[in-house]
């Protein structure tokens, strides 16, 4: 129990993206449950909250500059929406035309049914799709009898793992655009254990991916939040994802959290030697200083590295080793009548072997309700990524021209958009390369020796919105335990 009149503990969170804000929410919740007094401050460098979550409402469009949805099978974002009273605002993907396509060998080809979480469980539809040749399919089926790797084998890349199980062609044409696209990454660098541990588990547990997918298919339930309505695999908010940020900010303000925009932090210093339970010092670049009992860095790893460079060079060094990729999204609004004949399903992905500029394109207004006016179609193109980042050096007009040229060539859309919206994301996507898990473990281990200092966010244990919320919540709970349980 907190003593009446006892001094509140102070916490500063650096970074007001989804990780920082959801960490603040979990801290407030936990402190209340522990009946403790907390003074929480969130410092954000930019003029807006939300970091990569950035919805723009313009001319009847809902344009998502960054993420456009989140996974419902990872429950943490759904649960947060529930706590914030946003459940009624959640929308599923549109019913009906829910196919997705891959651009392959000169045209769009539908991803086959029976592709359970990227693993094909039916070979007939796969053959019909034309995505993989007969010999390629036969090689894929070889997964059934290829033995698992021995325990303790060296960490594998996504490319190595899937090529070993499914063969080169299936990897290049079917798997690579799905797995590497999420990270805007290069599958030969990304660690399978860090990005998709579930596939390593399938191999270990069932002796193969197809065997494992079939076994799991039997046990699968429809994804949904706690007792809530059925949810599609991806969900979003009716008014766009920034509504999650807006509501979080509102609730945190009502809970007395100090939220400060335009406050770039320059460095963080630890309590000095003589102080047993001294304060951390968070220095803004303009030299204003915040003192706190605990500090959580919810900034990208390379920023956290800079903030700790002078006080904790060991941690800073490891944080600085996490690579990032840069991307951009280009949202294009077309007169519906001009493009609807070309658009089917939710959009398409592009295998890296095709050597195109696009990573993927989403037919946003077909995938989600309310994204455009009735007479318009909204298309979102995704460009850049590891090894293709030079596109970000072009000006907006040239990026738009390039996206249009790709759409014309790959899909046939040949008309001028009514409006175009480019969002650049420099060093935005952390790359979980081989060695990532060990690096994160080492970072967390080193931080245990600096009591009261934590890092959280997309750089560590999942870059999707639900993972950021889960990691932020776990971090908040760990700090509460350090502040109140271990201290008592
Ligand atoms: C184009 C794109 C599409 C994506 N699509 C999806 C998707 O559909 N679904 C999904 O789940 N995920 C998606 N993601 C990933 C997801 O959006 C991000 O991983 C997640 O939002 C990151 O949250 P974060 O809080 O960790 O980091 P950020 O959002 O980067 O927040 C960090 C914050 O720290 C602030 N900051 C930086 N330096 C300082 C400083 N010195 N002082 C104070 N503040 C500072 C920044 O301004 C920023 O606001 C996408 C990402 C991108 C870029």
Pocket of ligand 1 (CB under 6 A): 14-20, 43-46, 51-53, 66-70, 264-265, 298-300, 303, 327, 329, 425, 428-429, 457-458, 463-465, 468
Q: Which of 10, 62, 65 is nearest to 36 (CA)?
A: 10
Place of tokens 């299936």: 170
18 Cα nearest atom in ligand 1: 25
All domains in the chain, ordered by first residue: 9-51+242-322+433-485 (3.50.50.60), 110-219 (1.10.3110.10), 324-430 (3.90.660.20)
- What is the per-residue pLDDT for 273? 55
What is the CA(124)–ligand 1 centre distance, in A? 40
Tell me how far the alpha carbon of residue 387 lies from the centroid of ligand 1, in angstroms: 21
Q: Are the C-beta atoms of residues 19 and 460 closer than 8 Å to each other? A: no
How far is 461 from 39, CA to CA, in rounded Å?
27
Judged on CB neighbours under 10 Å (0-12, 13-18, 19+), 375 is exposed
Q: What is the torsion angle, in degrees rounded to the nearest 10, for the CA atoms of residue 29, residue 30, residue 32 and residue 34?
A: 170
Percent of the chain with pLDDT over 70: 94
CA of 278 to the centre of ligand 1 (A): 31
CA distances from 261 to 15, 264, 364, 439, 465 (A): 10, 8, 31, 31, 21
Pocket test for ligand 1, best of 66, 326, 403, 456 (most atoms within 8 A of CB): 66
Q: 407 by DSSP, 3-state: which?
A: helix
What is the whole-number distance in angstroms between the Cα of residue 428 and the centre of ligand 1? 7
Q: 298 CA distance to ligand 1 centroid (A)? A: 9
Expressed in angstroms and rounded, the spacing between residue 459 Cα and the centre of ligand 1 is 10
Q: pLDDT at position 226, please?
A: 56
Q: Which residue is it, tokens 């696209």?
A: 181
Give 56-101 pLDDT, tens digit per residue. Answer: 999 999 999 999 999 999 999 999 999 999 999 999 999 888 889 9
Whose alpha carbon is nearest atom 13 of ligand 1?
67
| Among 72, 264, 299, residue to substitute to test ligand 1 (most atoms within 8 Å of Cβ) | 299
Q: What is the pLDDT of residue 318?
A: 98
Q: For residue 53, report the distance from its CA to the centre of ligand 1, in Å.
A: 7
Q: How many residues are listed for the chain in this entry? A: 488
Output helix, strand, coil percentages for the chain, rounded to the nearest 5.
Answer: 40, 25, 35
pLDDT reported for residue 128? 83
Task: Report which protein residue has its CA nearest ligand 1's atom 26.
Answer: 457
Q: Which of 52, 306, 476 most suits a substitution to test ligand 1, by most atoms within 8 Å of the C-beta?
A: 52
Dihedral sign of CA atoms 26, 32, 35, 36 in order:
positive
Given this model, what pLDDT does residue 15 score? 98
CA distance 312 to 309: 6
What whole-number distance in Å separates Cα of residue 57 and Cα of residue 259?
24
pLDDT for 155 equals 95
Q: How is 202-215 classified by DSSP, letter by letter?
A: HHHHHSSHHHHHHH
Nearest-5° angle of CA 393, CA 306, CA 15? 80
Mean pLDDT by 10 residues, the chain (488 residues): 71 98 98 96 98 97 98 96 98 91 93 68 79 92 91 92 96 91 93 94 92 78 61 96 98 98 96 69 95 97 97 96 98 96 93 95 97 97 95 97 97 95 97 98 94 96 97 98 79
Cα(269)–Cα(455) distance, integer angstroms: 14
Q: What is the C-alpha separation between 167 and 139, in angstroms, rounded?
A: 6
For residue 180, how far is the Cα from the chain centroid? Answer: 13
How much distance in Å is there from the Cα of 153 to the middle of ligand 1? Answer: 33
């Amino acid at each position: 129990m907190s003593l009446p009149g006892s001094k509140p503990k102070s916490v500063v969170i650096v970074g007001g993206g989804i990780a920082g804000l959801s960490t603040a929410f979990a801290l407030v919740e936990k402190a209340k449950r522990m009946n403790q007094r907390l003074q929480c401050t969130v410092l954000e460098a930019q003029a807006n909250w939300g970091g990569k979550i950035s919805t723009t409402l313009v001319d009847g469009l809902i344009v998502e500059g960054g993420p456009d949805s989140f996974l419902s099978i990872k429950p943490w974002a759904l649960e947060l929406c529930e706590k914030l009273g946003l459940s009624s605002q959640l929308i599923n993907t549109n019913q009906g035309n829910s196919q997705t396509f891959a651009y392959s060998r000169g045209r769009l080809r539908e991803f086959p049914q029976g592709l359970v979480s990227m693993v094909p469980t039916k070979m007939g539809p796969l053959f019909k799709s034309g995505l993989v040749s007969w010999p390629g399919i036969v090689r894929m089926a070889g997964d059934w009898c290829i033995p698992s790797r021995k325990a303790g084998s060296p960490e594998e890349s996504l490319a190595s793992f899937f090529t070993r199980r499914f063969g080169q062609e299936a990897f290049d044409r079917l798997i690579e655009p799905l797995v590497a696209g999420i990270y805007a990454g290069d599958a030969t660098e990304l660690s399978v254990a860090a990005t998709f541990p579930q596939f390593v588990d399938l191999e270990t547990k069932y002796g193969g991916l197809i065997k494992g997918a079939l076994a799991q298919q039997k046990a699968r339930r429809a994804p949904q939040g706690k007792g809530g309505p059925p949810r599609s695999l991806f969900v979003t908010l009716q008014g766009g994802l920034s509504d999650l940020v807006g509501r979080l900010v509102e609730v945190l303000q009502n809970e007395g959290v100090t939220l400060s925009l335009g406050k770039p932090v320059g460095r963080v210093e630890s309590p000095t030697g003589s102080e047993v339970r001294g304060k951390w010092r968070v220095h803004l670049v303009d030299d204003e200083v915040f003192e706190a009992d605990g500090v959580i860095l919810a900034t990208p790893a390379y920023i956290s590295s800079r903030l700790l460079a002078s006080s904790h060079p060991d941690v800073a060094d490891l944080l600085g080793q996490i690579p990032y990729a840069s991307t951009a999204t280009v949202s294009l609004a077309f007169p519906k009548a001009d493009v609807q004949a070309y658009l089917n399903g939710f959009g398409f992905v592009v295998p890296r072997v095709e050597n195109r500029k696009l990573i993927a394109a989403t037919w946003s207004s077909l995938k989600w309700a309310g994204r455009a006016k009735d007479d318009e179609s909204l298309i979102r193109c995704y460009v850049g990524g590891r090894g293709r980042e030079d596109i970000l050096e072009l000006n907006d007009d040239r990026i738009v021209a390039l996206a249009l040229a790709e759409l014309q060539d790959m899909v046939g859309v040949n008309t001028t958009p009514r409006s175009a919206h480019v969002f650049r994301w420099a060093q935005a996507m952390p790359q979980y390369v081989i060695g990532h898990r060990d690096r994160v473990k080492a970072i967390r281990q080193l931080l245990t020796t600096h009591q009261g200092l934590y890092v959280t966010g997309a750089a560590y244990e999942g870059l999707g919105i639900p993972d950021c919320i889960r990691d932020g919540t776990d971090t908040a709970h760990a700090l509460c335990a350090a502040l109140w349980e271990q201290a008592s």
